[in-house]
Amino acid sequence: MTSKQSLSPPHPTRLLLAILGTWCLLSPPTANADPKPLPGKQSTWNGFARVDFSLDGFSCRVVQPQTAAKGYPWIWRARFWGHQPQTDIALLKHGFHLVYCDVADLWGNQEAMRRWERCYEFLTTQHGFSSRPALEGMSRGGLIIYRWAITHPRCVSCIYGDAPAMGIRPYVKGLSRGAPELKRLRSWMNAHGLSLAKAKSYRDDALDHAQVLARAGVPVIHVCGDADESVPYPQHTAEFARRYRRFRGTIKLIVKKGGKHHPHSLKNPTPIVEFILSHQ
């Protein structure tokens, strides 16, 4: 298995990762009893106050609960803002903040990580948010939440993956140059600087680092359809779960029999919400 070291980017970003790792380990969940208000454009979202702001040139948004729960817990949503928001809305009612940081079309690459690290630092050190957010990733959003968790396993309370893509190798296996399937994979490969040959041998996806999260004790829940035509269940969630359990990791699977890639989530998100609440 590729070591966790292979995920570390070159200096000087490596120093920031080390600092963040120390912060996660030393900072209590109740980092700031009186956080500063967030700057930005004010609006509402599903009856809750929303703030949109720019951070180092990329956009972020935070939806605020009417009353924040103790410790300022938050759910960090990756990609597809507002799609099937029932889990987000339920958690807002429980006092969670909802956070979104734009990493569209970056496919969990190092630029996506840079943005998330800056957003995390801003919210935890300046605005009192918990140092251990819950992560939420639908479809390709799985790439950034797992990239974050593998690099910063102490900076996450739990992971909610919804039909998440767990790696590029299942998509490129058996393909040859000129294969029509490569057209839809090109953006993903370019984001990581991968040729087809390199994509076939890539070993820095979540499938390759289950042991890191399992040893850190990160609890995981996945909601998937077993007939998913976009992110095939056997090659992604089922394979990851097999590896995670082999390393004694905790993972709960909610499998929708005959379910396709859409719709995401559950009509009644209670099992997802209860899982997240139980790991704060």
- Distance of alpha carbon 200 from alpha carbon 219, whole angstroms: 29
Is residue 5 a part of any domain in this protein? no
Residue-range definition of the domain harbouring residue 97: 44-167+205-277
Q: At 109, which CATH number? A: 3.40.50.1820
pLDDT score, position 28: 44
The count of domains in the chain is 1
Q: Is residue 173 part of a domain?
A: no
252 domain residue, yes or no: yes
* Percent of residues, the chain, with pLDDT higher than 90: 85
pLDDT tens-digit series, residues 191-217: 999 999 999 999 999 999 999 999 999
Domain membership flag for residue 22 = no
Q: Closest Cα partner for 202 from 180, 171, 228?
A: 171
Residue 174 lies in a domain: no
In a domain, 250, yes or no: yes
Whether residue 180 lies inside any domain: the answer is no
* 29 is a domain residue: no
Q: What is the pLDDT of residues 201-257, one digit of tens each?
A: 999 999 999 999 999 999 999 999 999 999 999 999 999 999 999 999 999 999 999
